[in-house]
Structure 1
Amino acid sequence: MGITPILADDEYMHEPTGHPQFNESAYYNFVDGDSGFAVLIRMGNRVNEGHAEVTVLLYLPGGRAAIRFDRAQIDSNDAFEAAGLRFEVVEPLRKIKVTFDGTGYLLERGTALEDPKRAFADSPVVPVRLELHYDNVVPVYGLGGGSGIEGAEDSIAVGHYQGPCSVKGWVEVGGERREIDGLGFRDHSWGPRKWQGPRYWRWISCMTDERNGFVAWSQRIGDARAPGNGMVLRDGFVELVNKVTVESDYTDSAPYYATGMRVSMWTEAGERVEASGSVFHVVPLRNRRDGEVARLAEYLVKLDYQGATGYGISEYHDRMTDGVPAGMTEA
């Protein structure tokens, strides 16, 4: 497949198509495994529906979390700027500045979001501010040869790229400031986004240091289970992956969260690369449309990769049927 170049123009906004669920989104994360502090930030412009999905999620030590979610009104796809959140291109395909100035609900347990209405009613609202600078440590790459997310162009993205980053800056929650200096991932995609389209996906990320890490993607859409893709980063060298398998352990009863995972990745050269680890913080997000729920369980994970310990965020997306995740028996 090879690494298809991503154009500098792709760092900016794209002309919306007429698809009713056209979405242009960008995503940023950061994980400090030593303290258990992490950040997940996303904005998805759904201009044909008149709003942007804005998520600012802070994982706090001890299982707590702070979150702000908005469906903020927008009337154009000119920028990633809504509800106090802004993404600024400093240097295309290299440096991005992320800022937020607003409020968030302070949750005693991140899992309180199993019942969002109750969680928001019972939790205090606190000021949340942040300024984070993302600098790619390797060139960005696509998960479909640069053309999108292969096999999911009709439901997730026709254009897509991502990459590991160094992350510096600060975050304030309730007036308490934390300085940030570590590693994370960023992502940019555009095209139809049907949260209820895939039966499930697994997106697992991990960095052990600036020169070593991986990202693995596995999915099922309808009856088609794609082979999976991603990349492995070893000693600063990126190798794309064209096959992924994920085996996960789950709790014995509802809400059936993953507790651990084993990931196998095959590089384009045919080499098998493995990682395994456990979940240490859970925040469940969800999207409901036409009575159907898609759950996005956002896990902080500690993983063994190439003989070193790494950390990351893993996203387990499942269509839910009677409280059971669609992908639980497969991945």
Structure 2
Amino acid sequence: MRPMLATAADAPPRGPEWVHEVKWDGMRVLVDVRGGRVVVTSRTERDVTAAFPELDGLAGTYDDLLLDGEVVAMDEGRPSFHALTERMHVTQRRKAETLAATRPVTLIVFDLLRLFEQDLTGQPWTTRRRLLEELDLTGRSWQVPEVHDDGDVLLRVTDEQGLEGVVSKRRSARYLTGRRSPDWRKVAHRRTYSVLVGGWRPEAGSGASSADRLGAVLVGLPDGEGGWRYAGRVGSGLAGAAGEALLRRLRPLESDTPPFADEVPRIDASGATWVRPALVVEVRTLMLTADHRLRQPTYLGVRHDLTPAELQEVEDGG
């Protein structure tokens, strides 16, 4: 089962038929609680239960639940996708438990899809929300956030607090599994971008060892026509283990030609190894310039929960 998705918007919708929530910088998951067992799946239906042992305690809350939410990791009091990256790819239970002690995650629960074997997806958002609140799901590793009536105010507050943005939901909306709907609308402050990796360059320096170390990746964004527009070179954040891990993922993807529809500037293309358009990463940037270049981008981590095809869909807003 895949979660319902929101369409992109320039501003929160207004009117009493809408409610507004904080947009969290984390990993979207569905959490299935049934018969004393918890199963956590990503938006691409990958089983990620082992990565988040903190959520095991949900097994002791109710006999049958299906929750929609976002797993977040905090850094200096704010959700941080970069902080989450070391957790989201872990498949070994013991390693996840060790990481949970120093980098715990929290499940932000914002929807209830099943309760006591009753499918709630056909019910309006107001009904699902009322039932969710009645469950009183408050724990050390999970919480149900507040909702707000004024989207404009929430957008301003999230900007001031350095949060990702706002998601607005129509109160009467049913839950459309696996579909993107205008009944859910998202407005992001766009401090971070999901981008496609189209190539990489070795670390600058002399000697053979530098040629085997990742210095920068060349990335792109959807061009609106099903292809990829070159968006710049990302080198910050790739030192040490982060760069080594990313390079291991890129080597099997090597290609003879770049995946970008437009020409990569010679200064960036020099010495590049091109790769097939198969890997999405998250970057933080000051801004996206008028010519669609990332300004001073920093690598945050691999988007294990987002494929290139889904990135095209997200950017198209469809």
TM-score w.r.t. structure 2 length?
0.29
Q: Which has the higher contact order (CA 8 A, sep 6+)?
A: 2
TM-score w.r.t. structure 1 length?
0.28
- Which of the pair has more CA radius of gyration? 2
